[in-house]
């Protein structure tokens, strides 16, 4: 799967040209942030990031938005995206990008406590690529970059664990980018 094929897949599931434009513009902004982070991590040499995978996966991370727009249910789109990519026969790595990019990851305990309408299991980013896309998505609001402090304040409405998890993800990404 390359970037061009990822965009074609977005097109296939888009409910309208307007929705495609919105999701693609956001995905491209997340992609730019993710590729910048990946370049800096690769340059620092602590981890090796699969940049080509990241390029396509960042385009697909919100494909579930066509089934569950943000105003309907903000968390369902991750699992919906995972199911779409599974149906399309994409590698599990792509599927997990969709389901692990919510917040700074969700645990089964979070889901039960917040009574979220998705299966109660762990959706935590584990690979460096999952972490980068999850983090890049937190640092982009629609198409505009946002400060981590803004996102940490927003995460506070989900509890201390959500804030701590996002801070930990931020610290890990920052550490990986340093030589």
Query: What is the Cα–Cα distance from 79 to 72, expressed in whole angstroms?
Result: 14
Beta carbons within 10 angstroms of residue 97's beta carbon:
32
CB 143 within 8 A of CB 26: yes
Q: What is the pLDDT of residues 101-150, one digit of tens each?
A: 999 999 999 999 999 999 999 999 999 999 999 999 999 999 999 999 99
pLDDT at residue 98, as a whole number = 98
| Residues in the chain, pLDDT under 50 | none
Domains in the chain, ordered, with CATH?
3-177 (1.10.3210)
Positive or negative: CA dihedral 49, 55, 58, 63: negative
Calpha distance 165→104 (Å, rounded) = 6
Residues 6 or more apart from 112 whose CB is under 8 A from it? 120
Distance CA 48, CA 51 (A): 9
Q: Which residues pair with 13 in a beta bridge?
A: none
- Check residue 107 and report its DSSP letter: -
- Report the predicted TM-score, pTM, of the whole model to 2 decimal places: 0.96
């Amino acid at each position: 799967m390359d970037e061009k094929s990822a965009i074609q897949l977005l097109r296939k599931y888009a409910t309208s040209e307007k929705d495609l434009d919105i999701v693609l513009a956001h995905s491209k902004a997340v992609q730019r942030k993710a590729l910048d982070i990946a370049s800096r991590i690769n340059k620092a040499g602590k981890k090796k990031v699969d940049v080509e995978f990241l390029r396509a996966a960042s385009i697909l991370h919100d494909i579930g938005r066509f089934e569950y727009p943000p105003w309907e249910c903000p968390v369902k789109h991750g699992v919906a995206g995972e199911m779409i990519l599974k149906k399309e026969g994409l590698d599990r790595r792509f599927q997990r990008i969709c389901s692990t990019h919510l917040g700074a990851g969700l645990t089964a305990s979070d889901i039960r406590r917040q009574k979220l309408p998705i299966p109660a299991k762990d959706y935590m980013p584990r690979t460096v690529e999952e972490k980068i896309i999850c983090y890049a998505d937190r640092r982009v609001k629609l198409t505009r970059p946002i400060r981590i402090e803004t996102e940490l304040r927003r995460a506070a409405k989900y509890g201390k664990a959500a804030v701590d998890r996002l801070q930990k993800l931020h610290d890990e990404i920052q550490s990986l980018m340093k030589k």
